[in-house]
Chains A and B, each alone.
Chain A
Amino acid sequence: MKLFLPLRSVRGRLLFVAIAIEALMLTLLVTNSLRLLTDNMGAQARLHAEQMAPVLIAAIVAPLAQRDYATVQAVLDESATTDGIEYLAITDPAGRRLASSGWPEKIPLPRPDREFRLFEDESATPRYDVAIPIEIYGQKLGMLHFGLSLRQITEAHGQLFKQGILIALLEIVFSAGLMGLLGYFLTRHLSDLTRASEAVAAGNLTPPPVPEGKDEVGRLGAAFNAMSRAVAERIGDLTTARDEAKNLARAAEAGAQAKAAFLATVSHEIRTPMNGILGMTDLALATELSADQREYLTWVKLSGESLMRVLNDILDFSKIEAGQLSLEMLPLSLPDILDSMVGIYSAQANEKGLSLSWQADGELPTGIVSDPVRLRQILSNLLANALKFTERGGVDIRVRAEECDQPGKLRLHFTVTDSGIGIAVAKQKMIFAPFSQAESSTTRKYGGTGLGLAIVTQLVELMDGSISLESQPGRGSSFHFSIVCRLAEASTSRLGQTLPGLSSSSDSLTGKRILLVEDTPVNQVLGKKLLSKFGCRVSLAEDGLRALAAMATEAFDVVLMDLQMPNMGGLEATEKQRAREKELGRRRLPIIALTANAMVDDRERCLAAGMDDFIAKPFRADEMLEAIRRQL
């Protein structure tokens, strides 16, 4: 409802209400005064009539009984001079006028009023006409008629009404002015406060101070000023704190970026030579060697692989700590993963005479979506530990699916149980901390960085799960962990999919033209040797520029592209090649990244640049060959 404009302000509404109340009260006052006046004067008039009538009757009874009408007339004439009497008349019982005073002879007497009314008829003379029978001892002598003038009452009523209205109007006008003025003085500071508040709302946190005083509004103004100052100070503090926080965040971000860059560099710089070491060792082991030479090279390979695990653990832990580890959710087959894990570690178990198996408790769901790489990593760590600390018996993996309170998801519960040395209760919590092992002697005896379980814990938590341990020294251990998985969706990604099994056949690679783009000499040699061994015709390019030139002039079946190279990196070269293919309408040449940049985002950058697959250094020969086969 829209308010009349002046009523929108508090002052206007207060003024309106006050004036309305005052008008109402004045109306009541005037009305009541008029009523009281009317009632009082009317009562007096009636009393006058009631008092006068018996006196008059008493005075005229005797002359009436004597038929002394002259005396009756004299009495009437004298009584008619009484103030307020308009006329007096006496009629006999037959209604004939015997005497009258103040009323013309020829005009019939007015009919008596049935009841006393002041304003019965405005046009009529204000008069109360009364007729009272003159009766004594039961004998009717006649009727006394008289008219009581009400003019005085009506005039007084009219005057009081006019004066009351005039006074009421003056009072209202005066009050309106006074209250308006008062309202202005009371609310002008409120208006200042309103303007100041609006200024604050508009962003001016330090508006000009509003007037202060000792009254309520003044105290409100003082409180507002104090609040305004406090807000300004607090905003200043917050701004300072925000700036500091931003600086800290920038510094932390820069630190994290530096750390990530450092990690990437370290990873790349270690993987590149390790690729050479491991690859060359494999090549050397594939040649005819003496028993000692084979043993020495085998130790070289094992040491290299151990070094790679340590390196991977450190890289993973660093990524987790830096918050840079993200899950890659892909459809997976749980039995396939478990089969492959058992397959991978069965050789190690067999060497120690241990059993290794997995089994499902209940039916396992299909179409599970999770991060298969990280799930393998968790299982791998737990299996490696179990096999490491178990001398007799075996290791068993159990898995079951449980309902999850999150819609569209389920919980997978894994238990890796071994019959190994076990862990004392007091040490059980400690083993999940980074760089910790149950005993310091463990490191000496079994090796390891102590990062494995810490990484497992972090990965499980990343996957909305938890991990716990049941163990008794000498009786083995059971590691329980659960992860939350989504149910499968239609879309899939090529990368990370469970790869089809390797074909041991090398026939499909025979004669294939491979362009190896690699700047590191040892890796050039390694790649060339390895591929040549499987019948591939290998061309070398030392950087991206040369690779582009080669791809422009020669026909290749697959390109193995390093990323970090002088002159032009692998990503840029790929992009240019894709652009050229598009421009010239050539068929798409499969390009596989072959790089020591082993981070997840490196894969994504490779795909984004137009590459078709990704092989992290150091790679195994079969891994590389399988990747090549997939592109042919």
Chain B
Amino acid sequence: MKITLTAGKRRSWLLSCLLLAGSLLASAVQAQDNSFKLGIAPHTSARVILEMYQPLRQYLERSLGVPVEVETAPDFTEFGRRALNQEYDLAVTTGHQARLYQTDAGYLPLLTYQADFKAVALVAKDSKYRKPADLRGTTILALSPSSLVSLWGVHWLKSNNVGEITTRYVSAADSVARQVLAGDAALAFTSLANFQKLPAEQREALRILAESEPMAGRVYVLNKRQGAARAKIEAALWSFAASDEGKKYFEQNKLDGYRKLRPRELEAMEPYAAETRQVIRGK
């Protein structure tokens, strides 16, 4: 069969081909972009986060039938900025940031862990720091200005009138203990969960100088664009909690499972959320 085209028809035919190719390419990129982004706040090192959330990622991938990618950020501030920029489909972050995402970006709070989330102030066991006043004039470590632990620590220092403090922010949460034990800093703020996951010898060489009240530590918030799939996603999370790998996951990380958010639990975090908003905007 011989097809003869005029010059004009040839141009339009070529254009059609190019458009078709472009739309196919765009679809491919879109498909890749449509992977389900599971954002985890950088409460510990990126490697630990990736390892820790693989069981959940794989479970969600199977349950939702879409590729799920675990992502984190260099620090809490950047994580918050990305969340506010709608870059995550499902974010796991501290209560105050969850509140911020809810109010400022329309995220839908889903659930949290059963285990209490507490912030602790760690000093070397044999150090001279016995009371907050002993910390005056020292250097302390925090994860990020916008992290819940850091915000609690700032409040704790302020409430105990500890001044002339130099604060250094460390991206890797699991390295603060080593720095305190090495004498690089007098104190470090971290979560109780992180402290409990430290190696025994490190843990025994440290002393908890102060401990917060239980707080909404890690809250699952769903991006509003996934609102239609909320039930499915929420069901998948509960299903994960009931599964063997879920139970193992909770046991290994001492998280005890999921629980629903208590009424006004997030609203209680509003003060911290406000501070975080300022930090993020100031960035």
Complex Cα–Cα for A35 and B15 (A):
54
**Is the CB–CB distance between A94 and B32 below 8 Å?**
yes
Closest to B75 in A: A66
In Å, the complex CA distance between A468 and B70 comes to: 136
A66 to chain B, nearest CB (A): 5
Interface with A: B44-52, B201-209, B213-221, which one?
A: B44-52
B50 pairs with A139, CB closer than 8 A: yes
* B58 interface residue per 8 A CB criterion: yes
Contacts of A620 in B (CB 8 A): none
> B74 and A68: CB pair below 8 A?
yes
Interface string of A289-333 (1 = CB under 8 A from B): 000000000000000000000000000000000000000000000
Residues of B within 8 A of A61 (CB): 46-47, 50
B46 near A65: Cβ-Cβ < 8 Å: yes
- Residue A137 CB within 8 A of the other chain: yes
- Is A67 at the interface (CB under 8 A from chain B)? yes
Q: Given the complex of chains A and B, what is the CA–CA distance between A93 and B34 in angstroms?
A: 13
Contact for A65 among B49, B58, B78, CB less than 8 A: B49
Kindly supply a per-residue 1/0 record for chain A positions 108-144, scoring 1 wherever the CB is within 8 Å of any chain B CB and 0 otherwise: 0000000000000000000000000000111100000
Q: Is the CB of A136 within 8 A of B73?
A: no
The tally of CB-CB contacts under 8 A between chains A and B is 46
Interchain CA distance A136-B49 in the complex, whole Å: 11
Within 8 A of A (CB), among B28-80: 28-29, 32-33, 42, 45-47, 49-51, 54, 57-58, 69-74, 78
The residues of B that contact A65 with a CB separation of less than 8 Å are 46-47, 49-50, 70-72
Contact between chains at A138 and B32 (CB < 8 Å): no
Q: Is the CB of B74 within 8 A of A138?
A: no
Q: Mark A55-68, 1 if CB is under 8 A from B, else 0.
A: 00000011101111
Could you tell me the distance between the alpha carbons of A94 and B29 in the complex, rounded to whole angstroms? 7
Interchain CA distance A67-B58 in the complex, whole Å = 20
Contact of B47 among A62, A67, A71, A93 (CB under 8 A): A62
Q: A67: which B residues are within 8 A, CB to CB? A: 71, 73, 82
Q: Are A139 and B57 in contact (CB under 8 A)?
A: yes
CB pair B49–A139 under 8 Å, yes or no, is no
Tell which of A62, A68, A136 has the most Cβ of chain B within 10 Å: A62
How distant is the Cα of A66 from the Cα of B43 in the complex, in angstroms?
12
Contact A136 B47 (CB under 8 A): yes
Q: Which residues of A in the span 187-215 have a Cβ within 8 Å of any Cβ on B?
A: none
What's the least CB distance linking A420 to chain B, in Å?
Answer: 141
Instruction: Using A93-B32, A94-B29, A94-B32 as known contacts, say yes or no to A66 and B46 having CB atoms under 8 A apart.
Output: yes
Q: Which residues of B contact A68 (CB under 8 A)?
A: 73-74
- A66 adjacent to B54 (CB under 8 Å): no
Tell me, rounded to whole Å, the shortest Cβ–Cβ distance linking A98 to chain B.
13
Contact B58 A66 (CB under 8 A): no
Given contacts A138-B54, A139-B50, whether A62 and B45 have CB atoms under 8 Å apart is yes
Looking at the assembled complex, report how far the CB atom of A108 sits from the nearest CB atom of chain B, in whole angstroms.
14
Contacts of B50 in A (CB 8 A): 61, 65, 136-137, 139
**A residues less than 8 Å from B45 (CB atoms):** 62
Nearest CB of B to A191, in Å: 86
Closest approach, in angstroms, between the C-beta of A54 and any C-beta of chain B?
14
> Whole-angstrom distance between the alpha carbons of A93 and B70 in the complex?
13
| Residues of chain A lying within 8 A (CB to CB) of residue B49 | 65
Q: Which residue of B lies closest to A62 (CB)?
A: B46
A403 to B54, CA, bound (A): 123
In chain A, positions 65-98 with a C-beta closer than 8 Å to chain B are: 65-68, 71, 93-94
Contacts of B82 in A (CB 8 A): 67
Q: Is A66 in contact with B51, judged by CB distance below 8 angstroms?
A: no
Q: Does B70 contact A139, Cβ atoms closer than 8 Å?
A: yes
Q: Return the CB mask of A1-43 against B: 1 if under 8 Å, else 0.
A: 0000000000000000000000000000000000000000000
CB-defined contacts of B47 to chain A, threshold 8 Å: 61-62, 65, 136
User: Which residues of chain B from 216 to 249 have a CB within 8 Å of any chain A CB?
Assistant: none
Q: A137 — nearest CB in chain B belongs to which residue? A: B54
Chain A residues, CB < 8 A from B51? 136-137
- Cα A208 to Cα B147 in complex, Å, equals 116
Choose among B28, B32, B57, B74 the residue that contacts A66 (Cβ–Cβ < 8 A): B74
Assembled-state Cα–Cα distance A145/B69 (Å): 21
Nearest chain A CB to B51's CB is how many angstroms away? 5
Q: Which among B50, B72, B74 has the greatest number of chain A C-beta atoms within 10 A? A: B50
A139-B42 in contact (CB<8A) = no
Q: Measured between alpha carbons, how far is A138 from B57 in the docked complex, in Å?
A: 10
Chain A residues with Cβ under 8 A from B46's Cβ?
61-63, 65-66
By a CB distance below 8 angstroms, the chain B residues around A62 are 45-47
With A62-B47, A65-B49, A93-B32 as contacts: A138 and B73 at CB distance below 8 Å: no
Contacts of B29 in A (CB 8 A): 94
Q: Which residue of chain A lies nearest to B49 when distances are taken between CB atoms in the complex? A: A65
Cα A93 to Cα B50 in complex, Å, equals 16
Nearest CB in chain A to that of B51: its residue: A137
- Could you tell me which residues of chain B, from 72 to 120, have a CB within 8 Å of some CB in chain A? 72-74, 78, 82
Cβ contact within 8 Å between B58 and A138 = yes
Question: Would A66 and B72 count as touching, CB distance under 8 A?
Answer: yes
- Chain B residue nearest to A92 (CB atoms) is B32
In the complex, A136→B52 CA distance in Å? Answer: 12
Give the CA-CA distance A68 to B71 in the complex, in Å. Answer: 11
Residues B42 and A66 in contact, CB atoms below 8 Å apart: yes
B24 to chain A, nearest CB (A): 14
Provide the bound-state CA to CA distance between A61 and B74, in Å: 12
Minimum CB–CB distance from A90 to chain B (whole Å) comes to 15
Inter-chain contacts of B33 with A (CB < 8 A): 94
A-chain residues with CB within 8 Å of residue B57 when the two chains form the complex:
139
Nearest-neighbour CB distance to chain A for B202, whole angstroms, equals 21
Q: How far is the CA of A93 from the CA of B28 in the complex (A)?
A: 12
Q: How far is the CB of B88 from chain A (nearest CB, A)?
A: 11
Chain B residues within an 8 Å CB radius of A137: 50-51, 54
Q: How far is the CB of B80 from chain A (nearest CB, A)?
A: 14
**Shortest Cβ distance from A138 into B: residue:** B54
Closest A residue, CB atoms, query B45: A62
- Distance (Å) between the CB of B115 and the closest chain A CB? 23
- The smallest C-beta distance from B58 to any residue of chain A, in angstroms, reads 7
Which residues of B have CB within 8 Å of A94? 28-29, 32-33
CA separation between A136 and B57, bound complex, in Å?
Answer: 12
- A and B contact pairs by CB, cutoff 8 A, 28 listed: A61-B46, A61-B50, A63-B46, A63-B74, A65-B46, A65-B47, A65-B49, A65-B71, A66-B42, A66-B46, A66-B72, A66-B73, A66-B74, A67-B71, A67-B73, A67-B82, A68-B74, A93-B32, A94-B29, A94-B32, A136-B47, A136-B50, A137-B50, A137-B54, A138-B58, A139-B54, A139-B57, A139-B69
Given A65-B70, A67-B73, A139-B57, 20 more contacts at CB 8 Å? A61-B46, A61-B47, A62-B46, A62-B47, A65-B49, A65-B50, A65-B71, A66-B46, A66-B72, A66-B73, A67-B82, A68-B73, A94-B28, A94-B33, A136-B50, A137-B54, A138-B54, A139-B50, A139-B54, A139-B70
The chain A residues found within 8 Å of chain B, CB to CB, are: 61-63, 65-68, 71, 93-94, 136-139
Which residues of B are at the interface with A, using a C-beta cutoff of 8 A?
28-29, 32-33, 42, 45-47, 49-51, 54, 57-58, 69-74, 78, 82
Closest 9 CB pairs of A and B: A62-B46, A94-B32, A137-B54, A65-B46, A68-B74, A66-B74, A66-B46, A66-B72, A65-B50
